[in-house]
A and B are shown apart, each in its own frame.
Chain A
Amino acid sequence: MPGLVHVSTTINGNPTDFLCEPRQSLLEVLRDVLGMTGTKEGCNDGNCGACTVVLDGRIVTSCLVLGVEAQGKEVSTIEGVASPEGLHPVQLAFLENAALQCGICTPGFIVASKALLDREPDADEGRIRHWLAGNLCRCTGYDKIVRAVLDAEDKMKA
């Protein structure tokens, strides 16, 4: 077995150290090493978006990032979206608009949607559809997801 590598990173604002094999993806590290199973695996080849996290301000599919690449970087996952004060407006909007059915793609959609609204608080329907084209949902047909993101924009301004 290859040796383990020591990685120092920041996850959801908390300084975090972990050991991983060089061949382990960031997704594997989050789920299997750190027990953060909120980030989901749908394809393990970067095509479904269920494992979306934010790495130094950019959304990435964590299955295509190696764990060792997190060294010295900032990682944000679904576990960091809500605060002790309550759910994030994007999460509330998904709940109230019934924007999830099975829920497996939901963490990826919420991380990606929040990342969009953090930089473009007035994104229109077309922009939202374009931004979320990397996240697959098989249950909803996207209608209620797009409406939830539009609703989240209103909630974030209120």
Chain B
Amino acid sequence: MTSNIVLSEVEYNVVGKRHVRPDGVDKVTGRAQYGADVQLAGLLQAKVLRSPHAHARIKSLDTSAAERHPGVYAVVTAADLPFASLTREELGGDYQRLKFASNHVLATDKTLFKGHPVAAVAADSLHVAEEALNLIKVEYEVLPPAMTVKQAMKPNASLLHDDLFTSELGEMSDKPSNVASHMAFEAGDVEQGFQQADVVLEREYETASVHQGYIEPHNSTAFWNADGQLNIWCSTQGPFVVRTNVADILRHPVSKVKVTPMEIGGGFGGKITAYLEPIAALLSRKSGRPVKLLMTRTEVFEASGPAPGTWMKVKLGASRDGRITAADIFLAFEAGAYPGSPVMQGAACALACYDVPNARINGYDVVVNKPKTAAYRAPGSPQAAFAVESVIDEICEQLNVDPLEFRLRNASREGVRRVEGPVFRRIGLVECLEAARNHDHYSAPLEGPYRGRGVAAGFWFNRGFQSAVNISVNPDGTVNLIEGSVDIGGSRASIAQQAAETLGIAYEDVKPTVVDTDSIGYTMVTGGSRTTFATGWAAIEAAEDVKTQMVERAAQIWDASVDDVEYVDGVLSHKSDPELRMTFRELARQLLGTGGGITGASNVDPAGEGNGFGVHVVDVEVDPDTGKVTILRYTAVQDAGKAIHPSYVEGQMQGGVVQGIGWALNEEYFFSDQGQMMNSSFLDYRMPTALDLPMIDTVIVEVANPGHPYGVRGVGEVPIVPPLPAIASAISHAIGARINRLPANPGAVLEAMS
């Protein structure tokens, strides 16, 4: 039995091979420079004073004693943000957006979650800064919190914002509410679809707030120079997004903000928002010194992005022959303290795996007194999949149909229109379902009591967005590749491989470097499974540009027409004169003497979507005395389109699965009655350890994406989607009772069993 299978149809020279990553040695020796490792002359350390209350009005704030404390260089509050001095008239339509963004960074009149920043101090050392925080006097009027969508949607709920009005299907309502928006998708005739059904099931689900759990806490170092140039070194998935956010919140020109992305210690979507950068920048402007600001682990939990807790209802109808006839779905997602949950994405993903002719999906974005939610790997999709796939599992039981067979009968394929509009091009869901069915895991006997098997499918869009790459040819025939995509899991390798393949040179001859926002064109975040797809595309186009210029140079040297020169597998040759032939390396050596060096450049924004699908199979065992669930075996199947670096594709699949296992089984924010997080450490917010897990088996399916030169689809998001429903169904089969709330921790499993 092979643990990691690649079902490959097209072979390349460099693409598809398992090369050692270019940044590998630095990362196994401790030499790689992460954000917290930044050292600058005169560097100050900063700390943030945070609200102890989930919901409170700030009655007074006095920082004078902290300012006088020896070793303190600067203290800032919301009064130092430009928003404080701008009138509503001056801001016009920008008012509410900037208010939310500014207040999120530093609270003004109200604090909206425990951990909400109120003030910050820069001092000689971290310990002095901590001492100074204790000298800041804040008087709060504590308000009742709204902690869940169910609480926050009640008519008499405590309101977070007195100027937030529901966007009701695009129309603004006139009464303040915690419901920021209500959106809907509809296709076909839902009522008629349910009439055609032989079985109709309606179920309700809930999931808890979970955190991305990256091991490196947020960090930011800023230096505001006397000429207004602001330099920022930080851990981010999107240096250009940070640049935009900082420029926006500080009302500072984009051209005066340079963001240098340091190596990043995990993100999973949670390191896009600029939490610390504006504060560090203000402290630096006030002190005239560079300022470093790090979050503690508790601050990471309490004040950076959980994925939303949810409340969901799914009604599904199916015919006796196993065809879905109609779906009616209600999704209410926690946005956290400010609007912006991924409920729209959840709604668009909910039914994407299936050809459902009649469907209606209503989604609600609801503010609650928790930290503002952030993206977490396929944001919104895992929760929606938990609800929809769980109902499908029950329908399969009722109809006595094999769950993979049922999914094959209904699977989305080329030409199917999703409920929100787009029509699929060639996709690989059917191939994934078949690969799962053919895998020996699916036919292996599952013996013993309290054991169950679950299967589920999952989807993510994998959209492209903007990327830029420059490639310069060195005299020794190697190339320097400059990119704006932060390398969060081996993308230097996958980008370099695509450049090498296109140029027809060796992988080792491409030297990739990730640079700051002054040094490369606009590049969107490393996230959304876009990097290997879109930055890879930019690398291919930059390499094609290099090839064009190399052909021109060869033609010039040979005194030939460019039409007479061809470039194949890294060799330039004259089409009719076999004597005229140069390798890439031979021509590279001549460049400086024949007109100068060559740099290929590209800015891309690929249209279309990669459309990733995965199918997972999991076996669990439940301890009937304690309710503890053990994962016995796990197999993840996914269509990668083309796995540029199979090891890192497997790594994405395995890592996503294990985050999904944590989400399904233990991870959860626990809150006090007053809305304080009670488990803000890795001891109490327990993520899976090596001891909790088996090996995670993988099958990479390769159905080439017709929208990418090498067929890449992107892989990072999909693998976190199926684990929630697959594990919930496996537990349900093991104990004979459904799991309708996650996490299914031991207490919840025991309760379901009774």
Chain A interface (Cβ < 8 Å from any Cβ of B): 1, 21, 23, 31, 35-45, 47-48, 50, 77-79, 81-82, 87, 91, 94-98, 100-107, 110, 128-130, 132-147
Contacts and interface: CB of A to CB of B under 8 A. Distances in A.
Contacts of B267: 102
A98 B297 CA distance: 27
Nearest to A79: B30
A95 B216 contact: no
A59 to B, nearest CB: 15
A12 to B, nearest CB: 11
Interface in B19-74: 20-21, 23-25, 27-34, 36-37, 39, 71
Contact of A102 (B489, B656, B682, B683): B489
Given A37-B30, A129-B693, A144-B651, 20 more contacts: A37-B33, A40-B36, A48-B215, A77-B30, A95-B28, A98-B645, A98-B650, A101-B488, A102-B214, A103-B32, A103-B263, A106-B28, A132-B690, A137-B215, A138-B212, A139-B266, A140-B654, A141-B655, A142-B690, A147-B695
B137 interface: no
Nearest to B693: A142
A102 B264 contact: yes
Q: Which 3 A-B pairs have the closest CB atoms?
A: A38-B30, A104-B265, A141-B658
Given A42-B215, A136-B215, A102 B695 contact: no
A21 B26 CA distance: 30
Contacts of B265: 40, 42, 102-105
17 contacts: A1-B128, A42-B297, A45-B682, A47-B297, A91-B25, A94-B28, A98-B647, A102-B216, A102-B265, A130-B691, A138-B215, A140-B654, A141-B655, A141-B688, A142-B690, A144-B651, A147-B695
B651 A45 contact: no
Contacts of B655: 101, 138-141
Looking at A91, A101, A134, the one whose CB has the most chain B CB atoms below 10 A away is A101
Given A101-B488, A136-B215, A143-B696, A107 B681 contact: no
Contacts of A42: 215-217, 265, 297, 682
Interface in B611-667: 645, 647-648, 650-652, 654-659
A97 to B, nearest CB: 8
Contacts of B645: 98
Contacts of B693: 129, 141-143
Given A139-B655, A141-B654, A44 B34 contact: no
B215 A44 contact: no
Given A50-B215, A105-B215, A138-B659, A143 B654 contact: yes
* Majority-rule SS of B interface residues: loop
* Most chain B beta-carbon neighbours within 10 Å: one of A79, A137, A146: A137
Q: Which of A47, A94, A104 has the most CB atoms of chain B within a 10 A radius of its CB?
A: A104
A45 B683 contact: yes
A133 B650 CA distance: 22
B490 interface: yes
B127 interface: yes
Nearest to A128: B690
Given A42-B297, A43-B297, A145-B690, A100 B30 contact: no
Nearest to B27: A103
A102 B611 CA distance: 25
B72 to A, nearest CB: 12
A36 B39 CA distance: 11
Nearest to B662: A138
B121 to A, nearest CB: 16
Interface in B657-706: 657-659, 681-683, 687-691, 693, 695-696
A41 B217 contact: yes
A139 B28 contact: no
B224 interface: no
A134 B689 CA distance: 8
B214 A138 contact: yes
B29 A104 contact: no
A38 B654 contact: no
A33 to B, nearest CB: 11
Contacts of B342: none
